[in-house]
Structure 1
Amino acid sequence: MLNNLYSKSFSFLNDKDILLFKQKYFNSIFVIKYGGSVMRDNHLKLKLIEDLALLYSLGIKLILVHGGGPFINDWLLKFNIEPKFQDGIRITDYKTMEIVEMVLSGQINKQLVSLLCNKNILAVGLSGKDSNLIKASPKFNSSNNFVGNVDFVDNKILNLLLSNNYVPVVASVATGLNNQTYNINADTVAGAIAKSVKAEKLILLTDTPGIMSDVSDSSTLFKTLTISQVGKLKKNNIISGGMLPKVDCCIDALLNNIRSTHIIDGRIEHSLLYEILTFHRLGSMIVLN
């Protein structure tokens, strides 16, 4: 099952596991969110592309949603604009919004598409603007902070691409009323898209091991959690800060019939495949019950 192209890179996999996986998930839709500081590591980026190429070859229908915060910060500083955040959310004024769109839709999106195409994956770059994929509204009551919520996902373009074996690569910007562009959290976009296309799995690649009872100790990682268990962890402030929006979008997805959601460490080579193709899962899986 593993051809020569993959056998060296994926020596931790075996044909039996891959065959079972293919039988179970062939033609299933996986929505994968890629973001955070891990995006800076070009070696890990290439390993992720290899993982996606293997899943694609096994008949999995993939949608890749990406952010790009570290690169946005770099470009803001080049234009002498200090990045500003409130409660972990980027304050996105008019000038910042222009740079956000330039970096996400122009730089990062096209780089990912190019890398995927280089692995013979039929990838197409999109943002929420294309084909009216995402309609947004302001998250805050402010005339100069263009952070958005997802109001609606029109999945026609996604279904058209998936049905013809293309991989949509989606940048997390979209338009709202009066043609205003909004910057939307990539986790939120991934969750909304997963619900809309009735994905089998929603997978968030992050720069943390997953959900832990002690954020300074990776040995306290929760491998599997139910929604009710997550609720208790939130109530006790074990889940807090930047993990909250990730967990919330996972719960929302599960309540809308996505089978499983995963928060995994993108800093580890092939963590995506370890999580879904082996019994040595590296992240946190949240399920309905």
Structure 2
Amino acid sequence: MEKTIEKAALLMEALPYIQEFRDEIVVVKFGGSAMEKPEIIEAVLRDVVLMECIGMRPVIVHGGGKAISAKLETMGLEVKRTGGMRHTCEVTIDVVDDVLHNEVNSHLLELLAKHKAKAQRVSGKDILMAEKLFVKDPETGEDVDVGFVGNVSNVDAEYIHEIIEAGVIPVIAPLAKDKKGHVYNINADIAAAKIAESIQARKLVYLSDVPGLLSDPKDESTLIHTIKVHEVEEYIADGTISGGMLPKILSAVEALKVGTKKVHMIDGRMQHSLLLEIFTDSGVGTEILAD
């Protein structure tokens, strides 16, 4: 009986959050090592389905970097990076396109259908406009042409809203096209933030393979629970925010500046971390707030 009462108490703790976030859009970016284990993928998607069932409007933006690297390796193609960005030639962008759509996206749609959720594949090529990205070499400081890698210059927010209003979960692959029709690979963190900005999402959630922002990357007990936008520069200067965390945080800041209320960074490997962060008083990751 005590366990039953505890479950009821948890539901009551979630009630005000369920009421507050009903009909609100939440962009969930899913990537990193969190996408390697089938049981983790399944658990995250079940959380997303529950969010949709209780009235929230989830939008999924997924990565696929490790699956892409594995495919390139089987083809005997070298993976070269500058500043963390994969060099992407014409052959590579075709592989990226194939893996993101026909492997990663298709698999997520199958699992969502298994849990009786209505979901729709959305290719970033149809909704994201790209501009070519030059990456600064960390050693020389020079701008490097890394091929078909881009930033997002525009988002077709109306199309995404149409899908959401139809009661369907958009599942978005992070690719984009430029004005000439060339396809570009987009960092999924950046794509998620730009989409959150454009569709005026209430929340943006980054699910990855770390608990959140750590003051000591080697010590998970040093989790920073809350940071505000004005603190970001200080954390960059002292090295707390660096490497792959940098584009994630900077894109989050841009989303917060134009209306997203809160950005969460949580560990997708933890069972139900998505629900715990959104629907409990304590949360489990790092939240980034506007000033």
Do both proteins adopt the same fold according to a TM-score greater than 0.5, normalized to the shorter chain? yes
Say whether 1:135 aligns with 2:129.
yes
Instruction: Tell me by how many angstroms 1:177 deviates.
Output: 2.6
Q: 1:263 to 1:155 in 2, by over 3 A?
A: same
Distance 1:105 1:79 in 2: 18
Match of 1:196 among 195, 198, 210: 198
Match among 248, 251, 254 for residue 249 of structure 1: 251
What amino acid sits opposite 2:11 in the alignment?
D
Instruction: Report matched runs for 1:3-82 at 5 Å.
Output: 14-82=10-78
2:186 maps to 184
TM-score normalized by structure 1? 0.93
Q: Which position in structure 1 is the counterpart of 2:116?
A: 120
Q: 1:52 to 1:189 in 2, by over 3 A?
A: same
State the 4+ residue runs in structure 1 displaced beyond 6 angstroms: 141-144
Shift of the 72–23 alpha-carbon distance from structure 1 to 2, 3 Å rule, reads same
Q: How many residues align?
A: 280
Matched with 2:138 is: none
Q: Residues 213 and 222 of structure 1 are in contact (CA less than 8 Å); yes or no, is this contact kept in structure 2?
A: yes
Pairwise CA distance, 1:12:
9.5
2:212 matched residue in structure 1: 210
Report SS of the residue matched to 2:154.
strand
Which residues of structure 2 form unaligned runs of 5+?
135-142
Are the equivalent residues in 2 in contact too, given 1:94–1:144 (CA < 8 A)? no
- Counterpart Cα distance in 1 of 2:146 and 2:84: 18
What's 1:103 paired with?
A: 99
Equivalent AA in structure 1 for residue 87 of structure 2? I
Residue 287 (structure 1) aligns with: 289
Task: Quote the offset at 1:280 in angstroms.
Answer: 3.4
CA–CA separation in structure 1 for the residues paired with 2:148 and 2:228:
34
Is the Cα contact below 8 Å between 2:213 and 2:286 reproduced in 1?
Answer: yes
Which residue in the other structure is 1:260 paired with?
A: 262
Distance in 1 between the 2:284 and 2:272 partners?
10
Q: In percent, how many aligned pairs have the same letter?
A: 35
Paired residue for 2:139? Answer: none
Structure 1 residues not aligned, in runs of 5+: 1-6
State the Cα deviation string for residues 193-217 of structure 1 (Å, max 9, x = none).
Answer: 0000100000000111111111111
Residues 1:150 and 2:152 aligned together:
yes
Shift of residue 142, structure 1, vs aligned partner:
7.2
Q: 1:144 to 1:276 in 2, by over 3 A?
A: closer
* Separation (CA, whole Å) in 1 of partners of 2:56 and 2:146: 41
Counterpart amino acid of residue 108 in structure 1: V
When the two chains are superposed, the root-mean-square deviation of aligned CA atoms in Å is: 1.9
Q: 2:82 aligns to what?
A: 86
TM-score computed with the length of structure 2 as normaliser: 0.92
